[in-house]
Amino acid sequence: GVKNLVDFLLGVEAGLDSNGRKNRAGTTMETVVAAYLQGVASKHDLKILEQATPQRVFSEWGFTVPVDKSSRRFDFAVTDGSKLVLMEVNFYGSGGSKLKATAGEYKELFDFLEDSGHTFVWVTDGLGWKTALLPLRSAFERIDHVWNLSWLNDHVLLDLFSAGSSGETN
């Protein structure tokens, strides 16, 4: 059903470009968080894994991470040797249905991981959240650790590894 090949190819190119922009924002956010984590890890004797699968976490550190889907890959895993923190990271420059879906997915992931003894952290930021305050609030009320870049920069991660730390940080 292609009536105009030029218009079709331009549409494909535009579609690829918009996805490229979305992926660049997420990749940039991961790069920023990775730089922060590497700096903190080197100063505070923490270890990090990027793109951490449950299998890799187990083989590197011996922690068993429950699996809710066979392809689960966390953006980051952080440990001090006795505690495991699993992190998801994203950035939304504009609104859309993806924000609501992501908030719902991470609430379910938090619930799934809650009994494992591991800590789940969601680092998210961007002006897109101004268009989806209700899903963000709902996630914020359910997930113990929902942070933005400013909070991460305030070293809230270190609170998770403090001796006897059991308080919630939102």
User: Quick count: other Cβ atoms within 10 Å of Cβ 79?
Assistant: 21
- Show the DSSP H helices in the chain as ranges: 5-44, 54-61, 97-114, 133-142, 149-153, 156-160
> Would you say residue 21 has pLDDT above 90?
no
Backbone angles phi, psi at 158, to 5 degrees: -65, -30
Nearest to 120 by CA among 104, 130, 109: 109
**C-beta of residue 104 within 8 angstroms of C-beta of residue 91:** no
Q: What is the pLDDT of residues 62-118, one digit of tens each?
A: 999 998 877 889 999 999 999 999 999 998 877 777 888 888 899 999 998 988 999
Residue 38 in 3-state DSSP?
A: helix
How far is residue 164's CA from residue 162's CA, in Å, rounded to a whole number?
A: 6
Strands 146-147 and 119-125: parallel
CA count, 13 A, side-chain hemisphere, 79: 18
How far is residue 7's CA from residue 70's CA, in Å, rounded to a whole number?
A: 39
Q: What is the pLDDT of residue 13?
A: 44
Q: What is the pLDDT of residue 51?
A: 96
Q: Is the model more confident about 136 or about 18?
A: 136
Residue 22 in 3-state DSSP?
A: helix
Q: Is the model more confident about 17 or about 129?
A: 129
Residue 125 in 3-state DSSP?
A: strand
Residue 164 in 3-state DSSP?
A: coil
pLDDT band of residue 168 (cuts 50, 70, 90) is very low
- Residue 103 is encoded by which pair of tokens? 């908030």
Q: What is the pLDDT of residues 115-151, one digit of tens each?
A: 899 999 999 988 888 888 888 888 889 999 999 888 8
- Residue 80 is encoded by which pair of tokens? 């001090």
Q: What is the pLDDT of residue 4?
A: 59
